[in-house]
Structure 1
């Protein structure tokens, strides 16, 4: 084994701060000097700017992406006895949120595009099904026309987990704005990350918005009077201030992620063992923002070992475990397409700290493994 030529971590967390250190410090100092910590003007400004960016009527900052789903489901009226269909190809938080409101998560297959398979959704609808929850994975939006048609035909709600898809679009419409509500995560490694946990819920439904506003803040209305049961799940004002700053540059970040994806496509598109994500301009209906760059590799373990030796960080998303494989949670589903995908999936570095030279090094290392 020889020493690696360079070190490229999968995600360099310190760069979240260092990339705009002076501007971030100025924003944080201002908030702290004023003691403006909970549901202050910065949070209201960020919510307004986020809703405008997404084309949504309402946006609410909450404590994290999981709370966002729980609150959204409760506001939409999902309850004990209901079933919610979602992909097994997601983080456990999606299914856990359904469980936490008393409903049953029903797991479905992913399609060839790695997204929720509408045909399998159709097969899993029962008399207890109340909602479909597409998960917008890796910065790509599902075929929402097909899913909405199924929902309309069967009288179901659509509730979106768009934690990984802020800025992604399908047919020109933003991920998170198709259903009765959508959720976003601001976990540090997400597309728009803060310095801890954070999340948001967006909706175009005024009644759902009213319930979300109550649920996230102890059931208190705008006058501070408790009128319903609620949670303590508010986006910290300090996080909101930083996120509002970063949102100003977010379109530039998306453009850069798409540039990196194009470089990967150009450099690795001829490697037969790999199935790459769709290229940025491969499908005019999809506008992908590449939260992650997740490919399939027949020789995944060997390739990953080679990349590690080359100083390149990779991960297998969610420790290589789709939700239906958590048998201790009572799942017994047989999902062969999802199982096969998780035997092959691997993520290459995709973040704003990557230079073109870094991407070229990753590409060269992958090609060297395949003798190209």
Structure 2
């Protein structure tokens, strides 16, 4: 038996008729760019998140980029973020001519360590981008306290965390903006690229609506220099079908994570691996189930040989990436991020994953450690 890291076909099978009907409706209307489907979906997501406004854009990366564009960043400006994340979190900062300032993470949550922020804030700091990695919120209370004291905006990278909560508030609703991705592998995934920005500020919402269409508020009149970053009607139609299922899918991921926790404990593996940690007050929605493993690379080879899906998010921290060498970071500067890059391993956790396959994953890992 092979165990895939992710099986999108299993989800599609359950909602196939509704998805195809939604796609057919868009094709019948021949209305593909923005329009009623996108605006309706935006309202639905805003209701789901508990915020006032949501603006559909072309990707999670664009959601981050557009959020930063509203701050009018200049060369020399700085944005604090983490190196243990997908590249776009920092890449969007660089695209605007600003400088990413990397701050280390917490070993238990893999999220931004609030205690490291203050010493990295300068007169040039314009924003902080915490990442709600793997589906769990960073410590927004502490992050916002520092940011507010210094007059710095907080842009939430919630691309892996739609539906996650902290102290009863949804990810993406606590900062200046929240940024979401609808990449197909996300808990709420489309049929291609797509993204969304959440906000409670009407003026900011209006600016974002303009910026996503080249800075235009009416045809061929441009108040700003924007970009082309629209959520397609086709994506919105499919996401409308999926959104009502999201809470159920997130709950199933949580149940799968709990099953793994139990199986690993029963297998006596807690001296070999470290289980994901959920902070009290957080609702973790497990976009990934990520353990820390001894002899991680050898374990990966063993899992590969035995057909067990797995992946490392992320093998090279951003401060050590070749393109960021000019920033002057050295190995050892951010030790927690660097250590996590050598230990983390994500295992299958998608909602449709049967328990028998989770048992196989755990037994294969147990066999590896028994023989190595």
TM-score between both structures, scaled by the size of structure 2: 0.94
Aligned to 1:109: 104
| 1:259 has 2:251 as partner | no
69 and 366 in structure 1: CA distance in 2 versus 1, 3 angstrom threshold = same
Aligned to 1:10: 5
Aligned to 2:133: 137
| 1:183 has 2:179 as partner | yes
Q: Which runs of 4+ in 1 moved over 4 A?
A: 222-225
Distance 1:327 1:223 in 2: 42
Q: State which drifts further: 330-339 or 156-165.
A: 330-339
Distance 1:232 1:248 in 2: 29
CA shift digits 1:57-98 (9 cap, x unpaired): 110111111111110111233333211100001111111111
355 and 370 in structure 1: CA distance in 2 versus 1, 3 angstrom threshold = same
**8 Å CA contact 2:256, 2:351 repeated in 1:** no
**8 Å CA contact 1:275, 1:296 repeated in 2:** yes
Distance 1:83 1:106 in 2: 6
Distance 1:315 1:135 in 2: 19
| 1:351 has 2:347 as partner | no
Pairwise CA distance, 1:226: 3.2
Among residues 137, 153, 176, which one is paired with 2:149 in the alignment? 153
Aligned to 1:307: 303
Distance 1:36 1:360 in 2: 47
**8 Å CA contact 1:111, 1:337 repeated in 2:** yes
Distance 2:6 2:141 in 1: 33
Among residues 44, 51, 71, which one is paired with 1:49 in the alignment? 44
315 and 119 in structure 1: CA distance in 2 versus 1, 3 angstrom threshold = same
**8 Å CA contact 1:76, 1:208 repeated in 2:** no
CA shift digits 1:3-38 (9 cap, x unpaired): xxx111112243453332111111111111111211
TM-score between both structures, scaled by the size of structure 1: 0.94
Aligned to 2:202: 206
Pairwise CA distance, 1:371: 3.0
Structure 1: runs of 5+ lacking an equivalent: 1-5
Paired residues in the alignment total: 363
**8 Å CA contact 2:250, 2:351 repeated in 1:** no
Aligned to 1:336: 335
Q: State which drifts further: 123-132 or 221-230.
A: 221-230
Pairwise CA distance, 1:45: 1.0
SS at match of 1:242: helix
**8 Å CA contact 1:16, 1:188 repeated in 2:** no
Aligned to 1:63: 58
Distance 2:53 2:74 in 1: 23
CA RMSD in angstroms comes to 1.6
Distance 1:250 1:224 in 2: 38
Superposition pairs for residues 194-343 of structure 1, below 5 Å? Answer: 194-221=190-217, 225-269=221-265, 270-271=268-269, 272-278=271-277, 283-318=279-314, 320-329=315-324, 330-333=326-329, 334-343=333-342
Aligned to 2:19: 24
